[in-house]
Structure 1
């Protein structure tokens, strides 16, 4: 009953002081909205990122020349030891492919080129150079057309697959299969159109469906497009009956032996597993989310100051009422409880408004993009509790003032 009475008093205060109450509620709502919106976006990005990694393969790991992650040194820095690392070579690729614990190794390189077909031209298009097995780690639907064959790969045939966006820019609505396109002055034949599935990781790398891109055989890229051999990266998929750790140890031992590294020498290459990539993601977006929390804390602080102001005014306006309550037997604890409930009600209303707007934003993002934005239950509970705590914390001073009023002086208050 006391809680319901406190809520009723809060609603009455809102009706009597609409502007002050609106400012208080708005401050809390903005703070909660920031937390909910950022939580929804980060949660959606994380789900998309996780899906991308799962499609590559849960046990697949990467062999690359330089380190990656937030704390990795920049390869352009003179003091970066990775500058002295030799590139991953095609001979090392062949060596890893022959290891007994390895199921397959996909070699990948990247570059840029100008694409042209008749009067249509698209400059600075990114392309990926892959080995034949690339569909195993790149979830894309090839339709119409096909992937390049092993024979075409071995011969370095000038064949290319275009994504939907590049196909539309070069060919419009016409059929591209079998037609020639010019890539940096060299003639290639279009053998397929692929539709990459949208994902945060792909979009971040410029490989999303909205970016024009192409795929060519690695051998063709080296022979005809002068692709930089030093950019070669290997994606290693272990056999299903052998653990990832065993295969990584096997690859590391083979690479160190081939490069003549002594036991005291550091590795001149990097093996990157999915967990490390996910850790990098969590560090990056954990920092971003922390900034969002700081911004929301400022908004909650503004809301809290509003709670103090409106509650102090409420205490002043209801001094005589408080005196009557005390004269009728209400204890200081009862008065304090009612005012704290009133303060918590004000901030909770702001919290629910912020939650509703944040959830609406998440729905809009999910409906109009490939990002599966959603509001985690933990974020919702945390936001409501934080707003309630803000109300109690900032409402404590007015509540104490109300509970300490002398009943006789309060009854004489005009």
Structure 2
């Protein structure tokens, strides 16, 4: 019990001395705290943003199912491409044709093949206008593959999709901005001055990777091409394999069938590369990691710089503190204080300084995450692990950089220290 009491007393005294140092040396202590706060702020803010992005991407993939894969005219790659066909061979890839899509739908390993085409248009309802809203064209398989939450209203039917009916299912965000409190079902909106009837409202689960949440309308892909002028050559496919007790194997079988069918229809020789791209969710995750790997490196670099700046400040302010309190250290040693006691006291003081900076950085980072959540498409939230890492990193920085001055204080000769003026 006496050991715990002694340690608690040492911690309390170290904290008190650190707070006194902050009050008496505001500039030095302020610079130290600022460096630590910047490092922690960067860690917390970036962690909140990345956590929000990860959650939205996971929801986006979950909505399409883990085995769904995509067929695109162009691959997802980061190769050196200057826009010419020599450096971008995939520019010569032909678009996906209706006959090819029909052939894929007949495959025994495939449950559904959905067409998708992204576009944008000016959308207006009475005096309310969205200059550049997202408009997505889908085939009737949209509800089978993505399973959107449509309420109120309904999704378009197979007949409406086939004939290119001018009907639209709008996102909740578009409904709020165009209609406010007015019921949108049955109302007519103008997309590039072409009238479309609103038949449903859906909850948009788009992730940051797919452009984030924005006012959006979904229409039959045929209507998007016919009335709004979208280029049919950019149509992509989402392929949902049939359910199986071994989903991964079923997905691979479906990919093999789709690949063989398209290559056969296009007359590709065995030695030729495919003139289309098969994109699995694993590939999308890989691309996602490549995109955000740079952000992670920047986060680590910036937080590291902030912590180093704060650590250098800890060394400076603690060295000054040791010099100013040399006589006090001599008195304590003369009264029986051990080297470990002196070392512990100064380490607690250093950790207190960096802990204050960590707490400030954590608070500012929390404010930053709220701003990111409210003013960007990223649903930022601070994961508990980020809080632990941020505060732990600030405390460890104080201990590591405070070790040198604390060791110097512990090694002082009590006789020489008492003579110090």
Q: Give the 3 Å change call, closer, same or farther, for CA 148–74 of structure 1 in structure 2.
A: farther
Identify the residue that residue 272 of structure 2 maps to in structure 1.
265
Structure 1 residues 34-45: aligned runs within 5 Å: 34-45=42-53
Candidates 289, 293, 296, aligned match of 1:286: 293
Match of 1:390 among 397, 401, 420: 397
- Report if aligned partners of 1:25, 1:347 keep a CA contact under 8 Å in 2: yes
Task: Find the partner of 1:54 among 24, 48, 62.
Answer: 62
Unaligned runs of 5+ residues in structure 1 are: none
- Does the 8 Å CA contact 2:75/2:90 hold for their aligned counterparts? yes
May I ask how many residue pairs the two structures share in their alignment? 408
When structure 1 is superposed on structure 2, of 394-403 and 17-26 the one drifting more is 17-26
Say whether the 8 Å CA contact 1:178–1:189 is kept in structure 2.
no
Query: Which residue, 159, 172, 179 being the options, matches 1:151?
Result: 159
- Supply the distance in 2 between the matched residues of 1:115 and 1:372 (Cα, whole angstroms): 26
Maintained 8 Å contact 1:115/1:182: yes
SS at structure 2 position matched to 1:62: strand
Q: 1:205 aligns with which of 180, 202, 211?
A: 211
Task: Give, in whole Å, the separation in 2 of the partners of 1:286 and 1:185.
Answer: 42
1:184-214 deviation digits (Å, cap 9, x = unpaired): 454x440413233354337x526x2x42x32
Deviations 1:6-44 (A, max 9, x none): 552242232244213343223212211220121122111
State whether structure 2 residue 329 is matched by structure 1 residue 295.
no
Q: Which segment drifts farther, 118-127 or 20-29?
A: 118-127
Partner of 1:200, secondary structure, is: coil
Q: Is the 8 A contact 1:148 1:191 kept in 2?
A: no
Q: Aligned equivalents of 2:298 and 2:17: distance in 1?
A: 36
Going from structure 1 to structure 2, the CA distance change for 1:407 and 1:77 (only over 3 Å counts) comes to farther
Name the SS for the 1:195 alignment partner.
strand
Q: Do 1:161 and 1:191's aligned partners in 2 also have CA atoms closer than 8 Å?
A: yes
Question: In 2, Cα distance between the equivalents of 1:114 and 1:121?
Answer: 7
Distance of 2:350 and 2:200 partners within structure 1: 61
Looking at structure 1, the residues matched to 168 and 381 of structure 2 have their Cα atoms a distance apart, in angstroms, of: 38
2:362 to 352, 355, 364: 355
Cα offset for 1:390?
1.5
- Counterpart CA distance in 1 for 2:128 and 2:262 is 45
Contact 1:176 1:190 in 2 (8 A): no
User: In the alignment, is the contact (CA less than 8 A) between 1:140 and 1:194 conserved in 2?
Assistant: no
User: Which residue in the other structure is 2:220 paired with?
Assistant: 217
Q: CA deviation at 1:2?
A: 4.7
- Report the Cα distance in structure 2 between the residues aligned to 1:170 and 1:364, rounded to whole angstroms: 25
CA drift of 1:409 comes to 1.6
CA contact (8 A) 2:353 2:398 kept: yes
Q: Runs of 5+ in structure 2 lacking a partner?
A: 1-5
What is the match of residue 340 of structure 1? 347
TM-fit CA distance, 1:363: 6.0
Partner of 2:3: none
Matches within 5 A, 1:134-145: 134-138=142-146, 140-145=148-153
Residue equivalent to 2:420: 413
Using the alignment, how far apart are the partners of 2:389 and 2:127 within structure 1? 58
Whether the aligned pair in 2 keeps the contact of 1:167 and 1:193 (CA below 8 Å) is: no
